[in-house]
Amino acid sequence: MTIPGFGEIAEQLRRSTVLIHSGGRGSGSGVIWSSDGFLLTNAHVVRSRRPTVQLWDGREFQATVHSRDPFRDLAQLRIDATNLPAASAADSSLLRPGELAIAIGNPMGFVGALATGVIHGVGPLRGLGPHSWVQAEVRLAPGNSGGPLADARGRVVGINTMVAGRLALAIPSNAVRDLLSAAPSDGRLGVTVHPAFVPRPYRAKTFGLVILEVEPESPAALASLLPGDILLGTGERRFASLEDLGRALQGNGPRVLRLEFLRGDYERIRRVSVELGNRLAARSSAAA
Are 232 and 269 a contacting pair, CB within 8 Å?
A: yes
pLDDT of residue 244: 82
Residue 200 lies in a domain: yes
16-45 pLDDT per residue, tens: 999 999 876 678 999 999 999 999 999 889
pLDDT of residue 278: 62
Mean pLDDT calculated for residue range 154-164: 94
**Are both 123 and 151 inside the same structural domain?**
yes
pLDDT of residue 184: 59
**Are both 22 and 69 inside the same structural domain?**
yes
Total domains present in the chain: 3
State which residues form the domain around 231.
191-276
Any idea what the CATH number is for the domain that residue 238 is in?
2.30.42.10
Q: Which of 136, 157, 181 is the last residue of a domain?
A: 181
Q: Which of 138, 154, 181 is the last residue of a domain?
A: 181
Residue 36 lies in a domain: yes
Residue 281 lies in a domain: no
Identity of the highest mean pLDDT range in 117-131, 175-189, 194-208: 117-131
64-80 pLDDT per residue, tens: 988 877 778 889 999 99
Q: Per DSSP, which regions of the chain are E strands? A: 17-21, 27-32, 38-41, 52-54, 60-62, 64-69, 74-78, 100-105, 113-123, 133-137, 148-150, 156-164, 167-172, 191-198, 206-214, 230-234, 255-263, 265-276
Q: Give the model's confidence band at 181: pLDDT under 50 very low, under 70 low, under 90 confident, else very high.
A: confident
pLDDT of residue 283: 38
Any idea what the CATH number is for the domain that residue 19 is in?
2.40.10.10
Positions marked catalytic:
44, 73, 145
Cβ-based neighbours of 197, under 8 Å, separated by 6 or more: 205, 206, 207, 208
Three-state SS for 224?
A: coil
Helix (H) / strand (E) element for 221: namely helix 219-222
Residue 283 lies in a domain: no
Residue 104 lies in a domain: yes
Query: Would you call 251 exposed, middle or buried from its count of C-beta atoms within 10 A (0-12, 13-18, 19+)?
Result: middle
**Are both 116 and 164 inside the same structural domain?**
yes
Mean pLDDT calculated for residue range 86-110: 91
Residue 186 lies in a domain: no
**Are both 218 and 168 inside the same structural domain?**
no
